A = this chain, B = another copy of it.
Amino acid sequence: MTYQQEISLHTRGHGQMDDLTARLGEIVSASSIRQGIANLAVIGSTAAIVGIEFEPGLQRDLPEALDRLLPASRQYHHEQAWHDGNGHSHLQASWLGQSLTVPVREGAPALGVWQQIAHLECDVRARKRRILVTVMGD
């Protein structure tokens, strides 16, 4: 059995994190699937889906760590083609990953109490985002 639904987001730009866990739970519930998997994938190459404890400290720590290791300030070859100032956004999103698969058990996402699923905006400007959730199983 396969069930697919989209989550829409408006983000304000780089480093914004949105908690998708409640919406994921609703979609899994709507699917009537009791056991299986749920895949979340953002349509686009400059945002990421990540498992994280969604609390205010880590909501700052994760983008800060990304900016420290894959900083905006470096010269990226990507800029030479596009001049859109988001070479680091692409690298951050590719590195964290644009897709994540969560198990489904007893009709709900199988996550820890302090484990949430978040969308991280890596692009440098406000974006409309679509996350496709695919639930599969019995």
Minimum Cβ distance to chain B for residue A107 (Å): 13
**Alpha-carbon distance A115/B44, docked complex (angstroms):** 6
8 Å CB contact of A132 from B52, B110, B114, B132: B110
How many chain A residues touch the partner (CB < 8 A)? 59
Main secondary structure of the interface of A (DSSP, over half): mixed
**Alpha-carbon distance A4/B116, docked complex (angstroms):** 21
21 A-B residue contacts at CB 8 Å?
A37-B134, A37-B136, A41-B102, A43-B110, A43-B115, A45-B52, A45-B114, A45-B116, A50-B94, A52-B90, A52-B94, A55-B78, A57-B76, A57-B77, A57-B80, A58-B77, A94-B96, A97-B100, A99-B100, A101-B101, A134-B137
